[in-house]
Amino acid sequence: MKRNRTFLFTVLCFGFAFFYIPILSMIVFSFNASRLATVWGGFSTKWYVSLLSNDKVIDALVLSLQIAVVSATIATILGTMAGIALARFTKFRGRVLFSGLVTAPLIMPEVITGISSLIFFILLADWIGWPGQRGFTTITLAHITFCMVFVTTIVQARLVQSDRAIEEAAMDLGSRPWQVMFDITLPVISPAILSGWLLAFTISLDDVVISSFVTGPGSTTLPLLIWSKVKLGVTPDINALATLMILTVGVCVIVAGVVMNRAEKRRLADERLAFRNND
Amino acid sequence: MSQDGRLSRWFDLKGWILVVIGAPYVWLVAFFFFPFLIVVAMSVATNTPTAPPFSFGGEHPWVNTGAFTRIVTDGLYVRAFLTSVVNAFVAAVLCLLIGYPMALGLTRVSKSWRTILLMLVILPFWTSFLLRVYAWMGLMGKNSWFNGLLTDAWNFLVPIDWAVKSIPMMQTNFAVVLVMVYTYLPFMILPLYASLERLDPTLDEAAMDLGSRPSQVFRDVTLPQSMPGIIAGGMLVFIPAAGELVIPSLVGSASQPMIGRIISDEFAQARDWPMASAVAVALLVLMVVPTMIYSHYQAKAEGSK
């Protein structure tokens, strides 16, 4: 048993080294003075300066954030509706196709989703003259479509676990079905909706493949900008960009962790207090 | 009853259900299902030098299966399918071999460490996928410290005649598999952890008390019970890996392309929409098999809960 433990511990150490050495290496080389991105030539922050003074990078970041906020919000609304539909309405015409449509984008290779969306937009423009130009609109539409199914998966899982008794009680007390949804169901699943939005936001912000197909001239998202630079090889300013992104994500995750931890502690304290008052 | 009252009654009973089901339904049909049907139809169209570059008809009215014939007969496509399947399969197996002990290790550490370590598994997943691929481009390149380290190790171990200046890693299938393992490993660890965490530790103890050696306990108790996690993790790695475009484009070999790159090149460079669509349809057919296995096991796991 002792030897077993040592083995598992060693694998864990190597596993995390495998996860983080490439990232750490990227961070270290972002402070490299040399133009050669992989040969150390002294400490410098010049790549950060050149990165932050690059208008193209800032524009791409703003565009990516806009697309991510809009598509995550619409995807969350539609995805939540689909989750409620699948978890609460067990019988309706076309349910089999519907649940298939909700699962398919999850396993569909991105290349195929990208190509089918692009062909669809080109033919649509041919038939009805819209969308006239590919860019913000087409990227957002495509992102909504493949982000919403992730929201649905989360919301549906949460609804299946949740207790239906409260909803039935409200119904018995005379609430209309849509009132039950707004007053009971949605508040109960609000954590799932929030994590759905965050997931949709991250997926949209991170997408390269689908965006690369449905984008048009002048609409370069941040991943597309990175993609076009990285194809040509390793460049030091991308190291700096990666470091900033990792820093942002790291800070967000730590803040979220602390906030959740505090909320959990407060909840436990409240529960203890409630018990004491009952005694 | 007034018109207004009737409308609100209709909304109460049926209308709101119609909205809740209808809105996402219509959206998915319009922006996912319909485009997909276009691709399926496109796969039997004929490539023409017009804009858009296809037409239905030609010698065989409406249906032209030429693209599918080419997929089966042209070695390029057969090889690309084989490369994709082999790369994805090797990546899934390696993820399992690394991920299983890691997931098992995660269930054995203390509760507070577990939260932190799980967070560390998920954290790379929240950073950009593209940048995680890029990180390896930096490590594998000819002049990098990592490649230098491996080269030194190689030169130290092998006879002097085999010595090399640097190890050619970029633009190989090795690089593709390595980066796939790196980027998809969390997809293997998380479902494995979920299924291993649920296991009852007293079963292990019972098996030990009955005289099993630790290796037997693993083979007879732990492994069979974690099968749903293995299948789920395997599929979560294999399916996206087989259709991968970014990784083979950045670190893969141009002479041995994977199927995702073929689809993209046929479409964007050759401007052969029917061919690209046919390869896409073939890839989907290929994916249906593992997906069926996955959902079969998934249903079984749900049923046994």
Phi-psi region of B253 (alpha: psi -120 to 50; beta: other; left: phi over 0): beta
Residues from chain B that touch A123, judged by Cβ atoms under 8 A, are 38, 52
Weakest mean pLDDT among A14-28, B148-162, B183-197? B148-162
Q: How far apart are CA A276 and CA A273, in angstroms?
A: 5
B19 contacts chain A (CB < 8 A): yes
Q: Taking residues B209-226, what's their average pLDDT? A: 86
C-alpha gyration radius of chain A? 24
Phi-psi region of B57 (alpha: psi -120 to 50; beta: other; left: phi over 0): left
Q: Taking residues A223-235, what's their average pLDDT? A: 88
Residues from chain B that touch A245, judged by Cβ atoms under 8 A, are 127-128, 131
A38, A148, A226 member nearest B130 (Cβ): A226
The C-alpha of B104 sits at a distance from chain A's nearest C-alpha, in angstroms, of 7
Residues from chain B that touch A178, judged by Cβ atoms under 8 A, are 11-12, 16
Q: How far apart are CA A43 and CA A40, in angstroms?
A: 8
Token pair of B131, please?
């940048």
Q: How far apart are CA B271 and CA B280, in angstroms?
A: 15
Per-chain mean pLDDT for chain B: 88
Q: Taking residues B228-233, what's their average pLDDT? A: 89
> What is the reported pLDDT for A193?
94
Upper half-sphere CA count for residue B241 (Cβ side, 13 Å)? 34
Q: Does residue A60 surpass a pLDDT of 90?
A: yes
| A255 residue type, one letter | V
Q: How far apart are CA A20 and CA A32, in angstroms?
A: 19
Q: How far apart are CA A155 and CA A82, in angstroms?
A: 9
Q: How far apart are CA A153 and CA A83, in angstroms?
A: 7
Instruction: Report the percent of chain A where pLDDT is more than 70.
Output: 97
Among B8, B14, B20, most A C-beta atoms within 10 A, so best to mutate, is B20
| A214 residue type, one letter | V
Interface contact A11-B101, CB threshold 8 A = yes
Helix (H, G, I), strand (E, B) or coil at A43: strand
- H or E element, residue B157: helix B145-157
The C-alpha of A88 sits at a distance from chain B's nearest C-alpha, in angstroms, of 10
C-alpha gyration radius of chain B? 26
Token pair of A163, please?
């207790």
Q: Does residue A1 surpass a pLDDT of 60?
A: no
Token pair of B122, please?
């998920």
> What is the reported pLDDT for B305?
46
- Considering only the C-alpha atoms of chain A, give the largest distance between any 2 of them, rounded to a whole number of Å: 74
Q: How far apart are CA A53 and CA A58, in angstroms?
A: 8
Q: What residues 25-84 of chain B have any CB closer than 8 A to a CB of chain A?
A: 25, 27-29, 31-36, 38-39, 42, 52
Higher per-residue confidence, B192 vs A163: B192
Ordered alpha helix ranges (H), chain A: 2-29, 46-52, 55-88, 95-107, 110-128, 136-161, 165-172, 177-180, 186-188, 190-206, 209-214, 222-230, 236-278
Q: How far apart are CA B68 and CA B277, in angstroms?
A: 10
Q: Taking residues A174-194, what's their average pLDDT? A: 88
Q: Does residue B296 surpass a pLDDT of 80?
A: no
Interface contact A7-B284, CB threshold 8 A = no
Q: What residues 227-266 of chain B have any CB closer than 8 A to a CB of chain A?
A: 239-240, 242-246, 249-250, 260, 263-264
Interface contact A115-B129, CB threshold 8 A = no
Higher per-residue confidence, A41 vs B71: B71
User: CATH for A54-235, among 3.40.630.10, 1.10.3720.10, 2.40.50.100, 1.20.1530.20?
Assistant: 1.10.3720.10
Q: How far apart are CA A107 and CA A100, in angstroms?
A: 11
Token pair of A142, please?
């495509």
Q: Does residue B177 surpass a pLDDT of 70?
A: yes
Q: How far apart are CA A143 and CA A141, in angstroms?
A: 5
A82, A111, A120 member nearest B38 (Cβ): A120
A38, A104, A242 member nearest B144 (Cβ): A38
Helix (H, G, I), strand (E, B) or coil at B119: helix
Q: How far apart are CA A178 and CA A88, in angstroms?
A: 12
B86 contacts chain A (CB < 8 A): no
Highest mean pLDDT among B59-63, B141-145, B234-238: B234-238
> What is the reported pLDDT for A255?
87
Listed by start position, the domains of chain A span 54-235
Give the tens place of pLDDT for each residue, B22-80: 999 999 999 999 999 999 999 988 888 877 888 876 665 567 888 899 999 999 999 99
Residues from chain B that touch A23, judged by Cβ atoms under 8 A, are 124, 127, 132, 135
Q: Does residue A166 surpass a pLDDT of 70?
A: yes
Q: Are B91 and B252 in contact (CB under 8 A)?
A: no
Complex ipTM, two decimals?
0.90
Domains of chain B: 75-266 (1.10.3720.10)
B38, B129, B143 member nearest A39 (Cβ): B143
- H or E element, residue B195: helix B173-197
The C-alpha of A273 sits at a distance from chain B's nearest C-alpha, in angstroms, of 25
B35, B109, B136 member nearest A117 (Cβ): B35
The C-alpha of A206 sits at a distance from chain B's nearest C-alpha, in angstroms, of 6
Strands B54-55, B46-47: pairing is: antiparallel
- H or E element, residue B82: helix B75-108
Q: Are A22 and B181 in contact (CB under 8 A)?
A: no
Interface contact A89-B21, CB threshold 8 A = yes
* A-B contacts at Cβ under 8 angstroms: 241
Interface contact B145-A101, CB threshold 8 A = no
Residues from chain A that touch B128, judged by Cβ atoms under 8 A, are 206, 223, 226, 242, 245
B121 contacts chain A (CB < 8 A): yes
Give the tens place of pLDDT for each residue, A92-149: 888 999 999 998 998 889 999 999 999 999 999 989 988 888 999 999 999 999 999 9
Nearest residue of B to residue A236, measured between CA atoms: B138
Nearest residue of A to residue B131, measured between CA atoms: A242
| B236 residue type, one letter | L
The secondary structure of residue A32, as a DSSP letter, is: B
Tell me phi and psi for residue B59, to 5 degrees: -70, -45
Weakest mean pLDDT among A154-158, A241-245, A271-275? A271-275
Q: How far apart are CA A231 and CA A223, in angstroms?
A: 12
Give the tens place of pLDDT for each residue, B78-114: 999 999 999 999 999 999 999 999 999 999 888 888 8
> What is the reported pLDDT for B215?
84
Interface contact B39-A116, CB threshold 8 A = yes
Interface contact A26-B138, CB threshold 8 A = yes
Q: How far apart are CA B296 and CA B19, in angstroms?
A: 32
